[in-house]
Amino acid sequence: MLYRLVIFDFDGTLADSFPFFLGVFNIIADRHGFRRIDTSRAHAFRHYDTRRMMRHVGMPAWKLPLASKDFIGMMQDGAHRIALFDGIAQTLRHLHARGVRLAVVSSNSEHNVRTILGPELAGLMRQFECGMSIFGKASRIRAVLRDQHTAAAQALYVGDQATDAQAARKAGVAFGAVHWGYAAIEALRLERCAAEFVTPADLQAIAP
């Protein structure tokens, strides 16, 4: 076993929520007075980190919590439209069956995470740390390490954005980058990820 504890980001890592994000972004932009995006350029946006995206749409930092709150609320109403990536359910079951501790650290709400995972898969998670700023994940990763009595060297944080990699680094844990999420893998490689996963099934190699 490579790691005793695997902590997952949620949006873009476990859940395929990017289409939903694109579908509601301009509604939120109109509500909070920042620029709309051309959703046909979605592929290009995968090369933007969060701060660059905020600059692109003219969103000041103080509006991020307000926009995030609206996104989370809209997702709560539309959770039935969001699925897990193919292979995630089987992978979570595989890791759990082999004794890997599982947790979620996500800026999304625990309610949304649990709803989209469903009762069975949510029940495999040892801990949920949810609802923080996208820039505030490091302290929550440390909280999981503490509560799960796991050394940082024995933990992996799996995510899909540069902010996930930066949070892992601040918390002293390895970062595993997924190829299927919001950010392009080329952008994540700049963050010196410890592992890459091309498909969700590849995560099973953590505990073969």
For residues 129 and 38, state if they share a domain.
no
For residues 116 and 198, state if they share a domain.
yes
Q: What's the structural domain count of the chain?
A: 2
pLDDT band for 204, please (50, 70, 90 cuts): very high
For residues 90 and 55, state if they share a domain.
no
Q: Which residue segment(s) compose the domain that 55 sits in?
A: 18-81
For residues 109 and 200, state if they share a domain.
yes
Among candidate residues 47, 66, 81, the one where a domain is terminated:
81
For residues 124 and 143, state if they share a domain.
yes
pLDDT, tens only, 131-189: 998 899 999 999 999 999 999 999 999 999 999 999 999 999 999 999 999 999 999 99
For residues 100 and 163, state if they share a domain.
yes
For residues 196 and 93, state if they share a domain.
yes
For the ranges 15-19, 35-39, 43-47, the lowest mean pLDDT is seen at: 43-47
For residues 48 and 104, state if they share a domain.
no
Mean pLDDT rounded to a whole number for the chain = 93
Among candidate residues 30, 55, 81, the one where a domain is terminated:
81
What's 159's domain CATH number?
A: 3.40.50.1000
**Predicted TM-score (pTM) of this structure:** 0.92
The per-residue b/e assignment along 153-191, b for 16 or more CB within 10 angstroms, e otherwise, is ebbbbbbbbbbbbbbbbebebbbbbbebbbbbbebbeeb
Contact 100, 5 (CB under 8 A): yes
Among candidate residues 61, 81, 101, the one where a domain is terminated:
81
For residues 32 and 127, state if they share a domain.
no
For residues 60 and 124, state if they share a domain.
no
For residues 97 and 176, state if they share a domain.
yes
For residues 135 and 35, state if they share a domain.
no
Name which of 119, 47, 124, 96 is nearest 203 in CA terms.
Answer: 96
